[in-house]
Amino acid sequence: MTFKFKNISIHYEIFGQGPAVVLLHGFLESSTMWNYLIPKLSEKNTVLILDFPGHGKSETVHETHSMELMADVVNSLLKELKIQKATFVGHSMGGYVALAYAEKYVDSVEKLILLNSTTAEDSEERKQNRDRSLEIVDKIPEAYISMAIGNLFAENSREKFASEIEKLKNEAKAFPMEGIKAAIRGMRDRKDRTSVLKNFPRGKYIISASEDPIIPMDEIKTISEKTGAKLKTLPGGHLSTVENGQAVSDYLLSVL
């Protein structure tokens, strides 16, 4: 299904009945990343998934897809579907969007769950790496996508999940390059939202991974302590829905 945001087509799907749960995918991912979780989560919930602009089957909106812009996309979809309140689960970049959404539309958020994500803004070094990524995407896009997706996994698990990694790479290679660059700019420019999570007045949770090569475990522990968010730690790397799908599913069902 699609809806229009600023005359741009945004792809979404909806499953089940009950309290609304919105699943927000990460960078170089799409709503397909949630396929394993949907059957169980939708038994007692209305589960909504969408492709962010420039990812999956959704078109590119602007030169920069800020976290605020993507939060507005989500809000427009919820209004379209007449969903007034939902629990948000955001993976990586999807967590950044969930935090931006909670800042702008806090009364519409029932619970907030960050999956392999952080409240922190990019460090200066990380921002410089984003700028280099923009250059690489222009010159050798397929090589960039292969490298970026491979780096989501713990080094010792890449061989085990080789077929899943290949599927992710092939899917991302079909995304518009302008959409990929727009997301890189949006992540680079995002602000720190630790205070947003700290001040969020309802259930807040972080699911992290002990060998995450993108977001250090020490950083997440500090954020959990600062914000009062409950922390669940799993083994593996940055893509816990692939490396530990059952554990993610079980934990989500326990807190929804």
Q: What is the pLDDT of residue 173?
A: 97
| pLDDT < 50: residue spans in the chain | none
- Domain borders along the chain are 2-255
- Per the listing, tokens 């807190």 go with 255
CATH of the structural domain 2-255, one choice from 3.40.50.2300, 3.40.50.1820, 3.40.50.410, 3.40.50.720 = 3.40.50.1820
Q: What is the pLDDT of residue 200?
A: 98
Q: What is the pLDDT of residue 156?
A: 86
Token digits for 161? 């999940």
Q: What is the pLDDT of residue 125?
A: 96
CB contact set of 222 (below 8 Å; sequence gap of 6+)? none
Q: What's the CA gap between 52 and 70, in Å, rounded?
A: 7
- Per the listing, tokens 């010792």 go with 156
Question: How many residues appear in the chain?
Answer: 256
DSSP structure class, residue 43:
T
Q: What is the pLDDT of residue 184?
A: 98
Q: What's the CA gap between 210 and 38, in Å, rounded?
A: 25
* Phi, psi for residue 161 in degrees, rounded to 5: -105, 30
Q: What is the pLDDT of residue 234?
A: 96
Q: What is the pLDDT of residue 154?
A: 86
Q: What's the CA gap between 35 and 236, in Å, rounded?
A: 19
What DSSP string runs through 153-203?
S-GGGTTTTHHHHHHHHHHHTTS-HHHHHHHHHHHHHPPP-HHHHHH--S-
Please name every residue paired with 10 in a beta bridge, in sequence order, or none if there are none: 3
